[in-house]
Chains A and B, each alone.
Chain A
Amino acid sequence: EAGVAQSPRYKIIEKRQSVAFWCNPISGHATLYWYQQILGQGPKLLIQFQNNGVVDDSQLPKDRFSAERLKGVDSTLKIQPAKLEDSAVYLCASSPGGWDANTGELFFGEGSRLTVL
């Protein structure tokens, strides 16, 4: 079974530039998550989708971050304009259950490492 695919693996940009990350979850997984992991910290949830609807985006900085999940499958996360503090690894994860399922491990992709100069 193919895992969660993410691209690009690495990206270096200057502040105020824009960047986009792509995620393809495991086939059939209803729930998709984007997490931001700053070095030395735990993953912080940015946005959670169930199918193509947003379940939680309370911690997404909406003035600069946006995300969408096309047709309930692939997802993109965009940052525009980037700030120095956005330097982090952006992890995409998927799980088979819906948000209200009391089960469902998260399967993570390899992550996209962003460096903002």
Chain B
Amino acid sequence: GQQVMQIPQYQHVQEGEDFTTYCNSSTTLSNIQWYKQRPGGHPVFLIQLVKSGEVKKQKRLTFQFGEAKKNSSLHITATQTTDVGTYFCAGRGYQKVTFGTGTKLQVIP
């Protein structure tokens, strides 16, 4: 079955440092979505990437979708304490949306 892995599992950064999480799928995806889950909360949609090689930006967040549509990355520039949470990618393959293992981000003030 479709598997989606993320690295790293955990990341601690000083406020102001950059952060990147990587997402890899065992199968080719039709699209990929990114979600953020705050401690004690539920996943909240951030963005969706559909095209091979697509790059999208949301303020300090940059999302990329790989050329082969099997991997993706999320980069945060100059982290802030409000960025704390777990970031999940979710790959949409045939009929289903499979969530990745997540990267938990801690920001040290």
Contacts and interface: CB of A to CB of B under 8 A. Distances in A.
Interface of A: 33, 35, 41-45, 48, 55-56, 58, 91, 93, 99-100, 102-103, 105-111
The interface residues of chain A, by DSSP majority, are classed as loop
Given A42-B102, A58-B1, A108 B42 contact: yes
Interface in B44-97: 44-45, 48, 50, 88, 90, 92, 95-97
Interface residues on B, range: 20 to 34
Among all A-B residue pairs, the 10 with the closest Cβ atoms = A105-B45, A42-B99, A108-B42, A43-B99, A42-B102, A42-B101, A99-B95, A56-B96, A108-B43, A111-B42
Contacts of A108: 42-44
Given A105-B33, A109-B42, A110-B42, A56 B95 contact: yes
